[in-house]
Structure 1
Amino acid sequence: MSVRRLAKDQPESFAFNKKSEDEIKFWLAKYPEEKKASAVIPMLWIAQKQEGWVCEPALREIADRLEMPYIRVYEVATFYTMFNLAPVGEHLIQVCGTTPCMLRGSDELISVCKNRIGKQHEISEDGKFTWVEVECMGACANAPMIQLANKDGDHYIEDLDAESFEKLLDDLAAGKKVKYGPQSGRNASEPHGTKVLTDESLYDGSRAKPVTLPNTGKSDKAEG
């Protein structure tokens, strides 16, 4: 793995907003006080989802909040490639280039990124996009695929080709809503041209039963 370093230009300060503070409270409740350093990865992720990247002042804030040495937070942030150490565009495009996706045409998607956006990790001129090639994201049956990360969350977009990918970027640039998941019309990873799950309740979550999450008192749903 190549050496990962913090961006040269850094903001003077960082503060979590209210939404982030609520998420931090949720995660800290999962660990005993003496083990709260275990929340370092969730807190780094929360900082990134708030700002789009993890800045140096955020590392210091997290170290202070978790009462752990700054260098330990730095080590985690620079080790895991899921953390952006420099600003990114409004939409971060992560293109899988591992063998199954490569065999199914991920090189075409990468060519589109180079032509439309520029070099990896750079922000496009309009500020809309950044792209990076990543390793397998576990959707091999739906290759080639990307993960789209933005303010709406992190979503897989699968069964792509150059034409459908170009349209996806056009729609994102225009501020239009896009369809997540397979772009071929199939549900999940069912065979092409064959509708296997005809009852939507088998996969749409409507059969899930509410459960209480430990240490939080909050309710969530689990498969029944």
Structure 2
Amino acid sequence: MSVRVRQSLAFANKRFAHALSVHRNTPDNNPSLPFEFTQENMSRAESIIAKYPVQYKKGAVMPLLDLGQRQHGFTSISVMNYVAKLLSMPPMRVYEVASFYTMYNRNPMGKYHLQICTTTPCQLCNSDSIMDAVTGYLKIQPGQTTPDGLFTISEVECLGACVNAPMIAINDDFYEDLTADGIVSVLKAIQTGTVPKAGPENEKRQTCEPFSGRKTLLSEKPYNGKDITRPDL
């Protein structure tokens, strides 16, 4: 292997590790910035922790990180440290969780997180046109946030709505059966302060049934109306 190839591989590995694992203090993400749950979220946190045996309360780390992210906007180092203290965990254990799962955003995010699926089913349904429409309209690339702090774009793997491909998740809502013009219309509506109804863009269906309507499971009871459930269950 040539020196040039070895250097390229070493540099690639360094960049990959840095992107996933390393924290660098910034003015809006450093341990000196205070964070604690609101009274409402503390009540939620206590309910979550109560689901676990006392000696295993650290099992609540993932839902508490999610709760902190929803309150703060992203999973900052202060959020991680707070969750570690709340669960009596070494901070490093919390850092390991937050840096492993991609659902935890460790840098400031836009108000609306646009997660564009480009896995095979969406790709076959021309998700490239959705990506091009979003990046072209917002003038940013995946991993970037618009200057007004409204949108952040992420390219993601399968979100489980393959039958309605191509699709995009905007925060917790799925927008499906998309066209390039359709997703731009959604973004324009959000910019004016109106969040369009989630679901398929195609008005012929409401969820994931065929355009021509349901063909199976049309009766209330299965197997020609015969009740086959066990009476003792």
**Same structural fold, with TM-score higher than 0.5 when normalized by the shorter chain:** yes
Find runs of 4+ consecutive structure 1 residues off by over 2 angstroms.
5-8
Amino acid at match of 1:190: E
Higher Rg: 2
Select the structure with the greater relative contact order (CA < 8 A; seq sep ≥ 6): 1
Q: Matched residue of 1:111: which SS?
A: helix
Q: TM-score, normalised by structure 1?
A: 0.82
Q: RMSD across aligned C-alpha pairs, in angstroms?
A: 1.7
Choose which of 172, 183, 194 in structure 2 pairs with 1:165. Answer: 183
1:96 corresponds to: 117
CA contact (8 A) 2:134 2:183 kept: no
Structure 2 unmatched runs, 5+: 1-12, 221-233
Query: SS in structure 1 opposite 2:113?
Result: strand
Amino acid at match of 2:63: P
Q: Where in structure 2 are the equivalents of 1:3-18 lying within 5 Å?
A: 3=17, 4=20, 5-6=22-23, 8-9=25-26, 10-11=29-30, 12-18=33-39
What is the count of residue pairs matched by the alignment? 193
Deviations 1:12-44 (Å, cap 9, x if unpaired)? Answer: 221111221121012111001110000000000
Contact 1:157 1:182 in 2 (8 A): yes
Partner of 1:129: 151
Q: What runs of 5+ residues in structure 1 fail to find an aligned partner?
A: 203-224
Instruction: Write the deviation string for residues 119-169 of structure 1: whole angstroms up to 9, x where unpaired.
Output: 2222102221001000001110000001111xxxx1111100100000000
Query: Quick one: which of 209, 212, 233 aligns to 1:190?
Result: 209
- Bigger strand fraction: 1
Residues of 2 paired with 1:113 and 1:177: CA distance?
Answer: 16
Q: Which letter does structure 2 place at the counterpart of 1:109?
A: I
Task: Find the partner of 2:198 among 157, 165, 180.
Answer: 180
Show the counterpart of 2:82: 61
AA aligned opposite 2:209: E
Identity %, equivalent residues: 36
CA distance in 1 between partners of 2:39 and 2:132 (Å): 40
What one-letter code is carried by the residue in structure 2 that aligns with 1:143? A
Larger % of helix: which? 2
1:1-224 map, 5 Å = 2-3=16-17, 4=20, 5-6=22-23, 8-9=25-26, 10-11=29-30, 12-117=33-138, 118-149=140-171, 154-185=172-203, 186-192=205-211, 194-196=212-214
Q: Structure 2: how far apart are the matches of 1:19 and 1:53?
A: 18
Residue-by-residue CA offset, 1:158-208 (whole Å, 9 max, x unaligned) = 10010000000001111113111111111211112x2329xxxx9xxxxxx
